[in-house]
Amino acid sequence: MTETAAIVGGGLTEWGEREATWKDLAQEAGKATFDDVDGLDQSDVEGLFVGAVQPERFAFQSHVAPLVAELLGIDADMISRTELACASGQAALRYAWLAIAAGQIDVALVLGVEKMNLGTEYMPEMQSTMTNVLDREFDGVNGLNGPSHFAQFAQRHMHEHGTTREQLAMVSAKNKSHAAATDFAQYREEVSVDDVLESYPIAPPLNLLDCSGITDGAAGVLLVSEEKAREVTDTPAYITGSGQSCLSSNSINNLPSMTTWPQAREASEKAYDQAGIEDPLAEIDVAEVHDCFSISEVIEYEQLGFAEEGEGGAFIEEGRSELDGDVAVNPRGGLLGCGHPLGATGVCQALEVYRQFTGDVPDARAVAGDPETGLIHNLSGSGSVHSVMTLGRDPQ
């Protein structure tokens, strides 16, 4: 690869239960993205990368990348839709970065879109669609879905490491309270630990407020070459590293552990090596991690190198993932606070890191100090695949 790539701006829709269609969401986020960046418009875009998980099921539409190109007026030299379940948006970012770094294009639009709410009368179909990311033949027929699967991780982590129900609730309370200061978030109310503990039980030990929502939303970023970035802005966010790991596991019975994600550790180590990061806890200022359930963030503290194995619960309890802690985790509110429109999540995470770098966030959720390094992390499916990307104010 000849060079890196940089985020120079982006935009998104309001997230939540929207009456907007899939097309509406794509257009809203696309317009917001171009409105955010002076000096670039649709005519400059050479590559279009669309993260979308199941538009075929949720919106009854496939072949969505050229659809987006038409909606936004883009004549692209390189175009693709990426699907990697909950990591689809980060996959789109990664492929755009690789295309720019290889010298194939200079400007890419990365757009993540998901329309998930079909109305309460279609809730069984919505839930069934969500389980498509698991192995339907083996895991699905046994009643396994998101809450029940992550409840297994929570139960085992509590059994082996003494993680408490209160520590899990602290994750949700932190993130949902951050989301109260996020103008596009699905949930915008301050939440206490007691609120989480007293919410409706879903899959013990996980309660309703331990679970991310079913969300409509879209987010976009403009990714450009290092040379182009200097022409467009004084405050780019450079992609400094990227890693991914699967370890030949997809079905639940083939996962290597029910308390750890070695895939996350391996993916993060690859990204850290590329970025020249030797001590992630000391060197990463802000992290957007995949808190689809409260237990997820606890395990991710450990696997991303912020805490020792088994000490993720203590990490949150000691305030080390707060805005003024060792590493600020999920300052926008994460998936628990903002919601989780599958294909848009990874793109929004990257946009949040960029905005934290530029200071374009409310004071109530601004990372303490002057953040210079960031990380985004996504797991996908049963947790069988993990994707990590590092960002910095300066190119490597």
Give me the active site residues, please.
86, 340
**Helix, strand, coil: what percent of the chain each, to 5?**
45, 20, 40
Q: Are 372 and 285 in contact (CB under 8 A)?
A: yes
Q: Are 111 and 22 in contact (CB under 8 A)?
A: no
393 secondary structure, DSSP code: S
Rounded Cα–Cα distance for residues 19 and 8 (Å): 30
Q: Work out the burial of residue 354: count CB atoms within 10 Å of its CB; fewer than 13 is exposed, 13-18 middle, 19 or more buried.
A: buried
What is the distance, to the nearest Å, from the Cα of residue 81 to the centroid of all Cα atoms in its chain? 17
CA distances from 301 to 20, 332, 344 (A): 36, 17, 23
1 secondary structure, DSSP code: -
Residue (of 303, 360, 308) closest to 331 by Cα position: 360
Question: Which residues make Cβ contacts (< 8 Å) with residue 137, sequence separation at least 6?
Answer: none
